[in-house]
Amino acid sequence: MATDDLMSRALAALDEVDGPMSVEVIHRLVDVGAATDLMTIAEVADLLDMSPHTLRYYERIGLVEVARDASGHRSYDAETVRRLVFLTRMRLSGMAIRDLQHYVRLADEGDDTVPERLDLLLEHRETIRRQLKELTLSLAATEYKIATYGGHAGPSSAGKA
Amino acid sequence: MATDDLMSRALAALDEVDGPMSVEVIHRLVDVGAATDLMTIAEVADLLDMSPHTLRYYERIGLVEVARDASGHRSYDAETVRRLVFLTRMRLSGMAIRDLQHYVRLADEGDDTVPERLDLLLEHRETIRRQLKELTLSLAATEYKIATYGGHAGPSSAGKA
DNA sequence: GCTTGCGTTCGAGCGCGCTCGAACTCCTAG
DNA sequence: CTAGGAGTTCGAGCGCGCTCGAACGCAAGC
């Protein structure tokens, strides 16, 4: 839910810019969790549209460290939420958990690993681009098939308000 | 089948994206229907960039029926290859095997099921569009991160007109 | 006090989509 | 005649990414 919100905001923002992505736009994306300072697992789960189970799982496998409050409950600070936003973004674009673990390990090792992290990101960017190509191709194939079945144009795409 | 149509549509959609893979695949795709008539499992596997194991698996779960030659070897005709091309295209865009089985079942039931198949395709088109949005967002996030790490623009993208 | 509800830890289980190995058959080249 | 390579069937196994259930803790409200 909250992620849908995030999504629509981000997409709206993306629509505004029709050139290279502005850094500021992305900043808004990343800063989502900045309003509240400490969040419960349920709140974070809701924000990121994932289950508390998965959040615990991510912690268990070392993707994030999460502080506890007085009664032992997880307490997510802004920094942690930001990392989770990034991680889920990478997951959504198909980066393997294994690779995220590697990345996080590097990040925790300090600034010396920036070049290596950069490499990983550059590589992942290529992966995303390949996926975009594949998806575009699949979209074309699907629309072709739809056309042969006499399907109509469908929502959006052309008639954008 | 008007694979040429598909190709031109796909290429039009892809005009911005270069890359060895997609275009070449389409080319091979077109050559297939036209050139060879019967193919071995190894040829099909090579064409579709998948393993013979997977091809047998697809047959086993009912996605395709494949004829045998005199000595019991699989012999893929153009029609079957076309179906496989379609199926792999759908797989590449994330359609579940389960859904493909459903689709194929409908296809085998005849023209009465065209409306339902159309529905499935329209739904899948939306799925692809959502994925495109997600991926675009992830690409933006990745480029933002790359920028913060002082990464160069890399091939195409930022500096592109 | 007692229930309700959200949280905790731990380990096990699951669905997906392949992927593989074993044992066998067949065709062809040397 | 033999060896090699590509094919066959069958069932089992695997890696991934969660997902779940059980047993428990704690704080608030009736």
B-contacting residues in A 69-88 (Cβ below 8 Å): 86
Check whether A17 has a pLDDT greater than 70. Answer: no
Number of C-beta neighbours around residue B55 at 10 A: 21
pLDDT at B36: 60
Integer CA distances (angstroms), B20 to B23, B24, B25, B48, B52, in order: 6, 6, 8, 15, 23
State how far residue B48 is from chain A, nearest Cα, in angstroms: 13
Its pTM stands at 0.80
> B58-90 pLDDT, tens per residue?
999 999 999 999 999 999 999 999 999 999 999
> Are residues A64 and A84 in contact, defined by beta-carbon separation less than 8 angstroms?
yes
Return the sign of the alpha-carbon dihedral for residues A87, A88, A89, A94: positive
At A63-85, the pLDDT tens digits run 999 999 999 999 999 999 999 99
A117-154: string of b/e by CB count within 10 Å (b at 16+)? bbebbbebbebbbebbbbbbbbbbbbbbbbbeeebeee
**Which secondary-structure segment (H or E) carries A75?**
strand A74-75
Q: State the average pLDDT over residues B6-16.
A: 50
Cα–Cα distance, A156 to A143 (Å, whole number): 14
Residues 6 or more apart whose CB falls under 8 angstroms from that of A104 comprise A62, A63, A64, A83, A87
Of the two residues A12 and B147, the one the predictor is more confident about is B147
Please state, in angstroms and rounded to a whole number, the distance separating the CA atoms of residues A73 and A83: 19
Identify the DSSP state of A63: S
Q: For position A35, what pLDDT does the model report?
A: 52
Calculate the angstrom distance between C1' of C10 and CA of A89. Answer: 29
The answer to whether residue A62 neighbours chain B at the CB level (below 8 Å) is: no
- The residues of B between 87 and 146 with beta carbon within 7 Å of nucleic strand C are 91, 96-98
Q: Find how far residue A152's CA is from the centre of its chain.
A: 32
Name residues 121-160 of chain B within 8 A of A (Cβ). 121-122, 124-126, 128-129, 131-147, 149-151, 154, 157-160
Residue of A nearest to B151 (CA): A118
